[in-house]
Amino acid sequence: MNNKKKNNRTPFRLLIEMSRLSPRGILQLCFGAKVTIIRDEEVLTLLENGSSLIRFGDGETALMRGKSIFFQESDNLLNIKLREILVRRQSKVLIGIPWSAYVGPLDSNWTLRTLRIHISSRVFWIKTILSNSERLSFARAEIFHERSDRIFDLLTNIESRGKTLVIIGNSRVLGSLPIELSRAIKIEVMEKNAFAQRSDVISQVESLIRLHKNSLTLCLAAGPAGKVIGFGFTGKCQIIDIGHGFDFIRDGKWAWAWNQLE
């Protein structure tokens, strides 16, 4: 009963949030945030040359809005840490943002269904994060959705340059890695609520950094928790937030959504 009442209030809260936007914010709500989106090929080249990437999708957006998602319960500290990544962004850390934040009103991604799902995210990003970010550049959060075929080439190329790969993910991800990544060090996290394991994962990564010095590349497939953990090692190792990209390679695009229903 309480959940039903809460859901019924959501459109009204959204209207209130929209009414609080500045005239500039209203324009960006209609036409998309005025930010620069880096081409996927350029992002991949930057990653091969040592830059890092942390992506913010629908799940991270929901958590920053105080909501729970399928594999991570809402957590105030996690909310704060996710926002810190955006506020304290580093020069060699690329940030990926969702398409709903910046595409125009005629973009083919918009349908009645996606409008209902993503309009609240658009309001959040424009109101909270992007209203004064015209001069900032971002990657696409969906880069590894469409470019999942490039992930293994990217990682093997990085490994061939003397980097040690560390893949942080759940048992399903770690158990389905191809033979080409057999030398990677694996750190397993729970499939749900991995943020609760952050202290243990951080300790393991710290030990690996002491052992391998500056030659580590952290490959994150641990949801929002992985992003927070990875960002804490900025400057000490490379961070590549692959996320569901591993699922797409194994089972096809959007496979993770079907896995949620199992």
* 196 vs 19, more confident: 196
Q: Is the pLDDT of residue 6 over 60?
A: no
- Of 46, 38, 98, nearest to 238 by C-alpha is 46
What are the tens digits of pLDDT across the range 121-136?
A: 999 998 888 766 667 8
- Of 147, 154, 151, nearest to 48 by C-alpha is 154
One-letter amino acid for residue 150 of the chain: R
* 37 vs 90, more confident: 37
What are the tens digits of pLDDT across the range 160-173?
A: 999 999 999 999 89
Instruction: Kindly indicate the confidence band of residue 83, based on its pLDDT and cuts at 50, 70 and 90.
Output: very high
What are the tens digits of pLDDT across the range 92-118?
A: 899 999 999 999 999 999 999 999 889
Q: What is this structure's pTM? A: 0.88
Strands (E), 179-261: 185-188, 216-221, 238-241
Instruction: Kindly indicate the confidence band of residue 256, based on its pLDDT and cuts at 50, 70 and 90.
Output: very low
- Of 9, 51, 45, nearest to 240 by C-alpha is 51
Q: How far apart are CA 63 and CA 66, in angstroms?
A: 5
* 3 vs 146, more confident: 146
Out of 26-30, 35-39, 122-126, 256-260, pick the least confident: 256-260
Q: How far apart are CA 56 and CA 215, in angstroms?
A: 26
Instruction: Kindly indicate the confidence band of residue 214, based on its pLDDT and cuts at 50, 70 and 90.
Output: confident
- pLDDT for 213: 84
- pLDDT for 5: 43
Domain limits of the chain?
Answer: 20-143, 149-252
Q: Is the pLDDT of residue 226 over 90?
A: yes
Average pLDDT over residues 1-8: 44
Please, which residues bridge with residue 237 across strands?
234
Architecture of domain 149-252: 3-Layer(aba) Sandwich (3.40)
Q: Is the pLDDT of residue 8 over 70?
A: no
Q: How far apart are CA 78 and CA 98, in angstroms?
A: 19
Q: Is the pLDDT of residue 225 over 90?
A: yes
* 134 vs 234, more confident: 234
Percentage of the chain beyond pLDDT 90 is: 63
Q: Please tell me whether residue 53 adopts helix, strand or coil conformation.
A: strand
Mean pLDDT of the chain: 87
